[in-house]
Structure 1
Amino acid sequence: MRAAKSVFFAFVIISLLPLCAASCKRHDASEIVLDNSDPLALAPDVSWAVVVEPYAAFREEISWDAEATDYCKQGELFPILASALASEENGGETWYRFDEGWLPASAITVYPNKLRALKAAASLGGKR
């Protein structure tokens, strides 16, 4: 009986050796390719805004009464240049500066990088 156990144990070990050898097969390491075509996409000092309102007007100054300098629509994204808090008489809301002018925080959602902003914009049906 003891000899049968030894033979069975040896058979199991020999049967498992090829399986262990196959699982240890060296796989080619996948190289992560970083797209450098847009250097600001992952820049840590640049935040991005996605417009969430159907339409929004860029303002010349931080005020709802200021002249509209340009317009944007839901799903468009822009790099944020600056932010400021409006006075209490103008609602005390945070406003964000873009090349086109100022937008209130209620019209946008802020993202830490362009890739996240692009994903959010795509879900809103927009791009830029």
Structure 2
Amino acid sequence: MTMSLLGNIIWLIFGGFMTGLGYIIGGLGTCLTIIGIPFGLAAINLGIATFTPFGKKIVTSPRADSTLTFIFNVIWLIFFGWGIAFFHLIWGLILAITIVGLPFAKQHFKLMVLALMPFGRDLVRP
């Protein structure tokens, strides 16, 4: 728990806060349209999860197998997910160059998976 706390503090100082804030601002902007509300809420949830990713894991919710969740994930992937996941991939690869950056790269790779298809998945403390 102490390492997760330390990791989250360092994460927030060196970019995690701005990343999470970007997700939340983008989500609020997407919520301005009625059609965009589910996608905006997903972005806001990603932003909240991005603030403290250390010590958490991705879990699949019971509603993950529904047709609506699949449709939302496909729409998200086409319009938002691939770009967000790409940036998490790039930052993860950059951070993986150094030994010190490996734990942070791991968090970016975790968030990349969540950013690809966020509907039906949550980042929770085990």
TM bracket (short chain): under 0.3
Scaled by the length of structure 2, the TM-score of the pair is 0.23
Q: Answer 1 or 2: which has greater strand percent.
A: 1
